[in-house]
Amino acid sequence: MKKRFLIIPLFLLSMVACTNTATTTEQAETKVFPEFNADSCLKYLKSQTDLGARVPNTDAHDRCRDYIVCKFEQCGLKVIKQDAELKAHDGKILHSTNIIASFNPDNKNRFFIAAHYDSRPWCDEESLKEDAANPVLGANDGASGVAVMIELARILSKNPIETIGVDLICFDSEDYGVSGAENSFCLGSQYWAKNLHRRDYKPRFGILLDMVGDPDAAFYRERVSEYYASDIVDLVWKEAEKAGYSDIFKNQQGGAITDDHYYVNALAGIPCIDIIDYKPGIGFPETWHTAHDTPDHISAKTLGIVGNVLVRLIYK
């Protein structure tokens, strides 16, 4: 996923709440949460990559769309397919479909979890020209977040609750952009933010998952998330701390990244944060936008950590 750093004026950054890095002592929790099966999650990831690179306007892309819809429907979720013809930076029309799967669709007390399911058409971080022209398989950059959501759908189907509604949103045509072409990334989320799948859709907040499967992943408090929804960042990072994942969910400020959550905030006005693997001073994972973004560079443990944090949010 190609992402540009946002230049945020200093007077806006000054509005962002300071991160509290102090460790707090919490009483031991007695609540038992449903199990997030990391091995099953990894299988869902491989099922996507086995189809090939899911570049828009390809057979692999369309088969992945149908696979995701099928998995959500098998779990009893109500699925909406939001079709759109989206114009890319090069003038090409991308036949795109955002997928929205809803648990307890009529419950007004709800939030959403999202990820993109398309693959980047080029390995533009490869040094060899012949490799750079090939599409990215996108095991981490795309399939990891979707796999987490499919496992969450399975958990919700086996452990239903009435007090909350959850939407699982798969954005399309996220990774077709190029640097320098304004708003050329995140086409699916831009369309969704301007054309919500329900006219009365008012979730409390959203959580975007992006590159959540690397063995050496670290999730810092992303700065766009902090600006628009610092309270949601606090909520998620606090749950990660309670679960014992402070070594992965770093309670420190990270970079400001243009991703699907930016357009959800800016265009739809829905508070949305990004759980993304970006290390200040280092950058994205080594496999980012390369031919090495494959399942053998994915950790079931990392997927399970992210999934368990989300399970805690849902069932509390």
Spatial CA neighbour of 202 closest among 150, 271, 266, 144: 271
pLDDT digits (tens, 9 = 90+) for 253-285: 999 999 999 999 999 999 999 999 999 999 999
Cβ-based neighbours of 163, under 8 Å, separated by 6 or more: 107, 109
Please state the rounded mean pLDDT for residues 84-106.
98
Spatial CA neighbour of 189 closest among 79, 96, 254, 120: 96
Q: Give the whole-angstrom CA distance, residue 102 versus residue 111.
A: 10
Q: What is the DSSP letter of 35?
A: P
pLDDT digits (tens, 9 = 90+) for 17-75: 333 433 433 444 678 999 999 999 999 999 999 999 999 999 999 999 999 999 999 99
pLDDT digits (tens, 9 = 90+) for 119-136: 999 999 998 888 899 999
Angle at 256 between CA 144 and CA 2, to 5 degrees: 50
* Global pTM exceeds 0.75: yes
89 C-beta neighbours (distance < 10 Å), count: 15
Q: Give the whole-angstrom CA distance, residue 42 versus residue 24.
A: 33
Q: Give the whole-angstrom CA distance, residue 282 versus residue 279.
A: 5
pLDDT digits (tens, 9 = 90+) for 152-172: 999 999 999 999 999 999 999
Q: What is the DSSP letter of 143?
A: I
φ, ψ at 273 (rounded to 5°):
-115, 165
**Which residue(s) pair with 110 in the sheet?**
165
Both tokens of 232, joined, read: 């949601």
Contact present, 221 and 215 (Cβ < 8 Å): no
